[in-house]
Structure formats: C-alpha cells, structure tokens
Amino acid sequence: MGYVHVAHDCRIGNYNILANYTGLGGHVTLDDHVTLGGQNGVAQFLRIGSYVYQGQVL
C-alpha cells in the first residue's frame, strides 16, 4: 500500500483493498469489500458501494 492518500473526513468500511498510488478525495465513503487497483483516484464527496472492483489505470 505504498503512496496511498486518504484525504480528510473519509469513511472506509471493512475488508477493503487499496493498491499502490490510490487517492481518495475528501468526504469519500467506501463501503465493505471494495477493491481499488493501482493508480486510481476517487473524487471528493463520492460513495463507492459494497463489492465494487475497480481495476488498475494504465
């Protein structure tokens, strides 16, 4: 989990995986069992639901 950035007021559920170079903007909510691949960015004020898989950005 190198170089992962979690901004202010984020809520992260259980059993989540954040790969290298992943960034979460402010006020982001990750529900349970979320997987974010490498080099992903999540804009502020978004909610990612349970069991979501977002692959690596190339």
Do residues 35 and 56 lie in contact, with contact meaning Cβ atoms separated by under 8 Å? no
Q: Which helix (H) or strand (E) is 54 found in, with range?
A: strand 53-54
Handedness of CA 10, 21, 32, 55 (dihedral sign): positive
Q: Please confirm, yes or no, whether 8 is among the known catalytic residues.
A: yes
Hey, which residues are catalytic here? Answer: 8
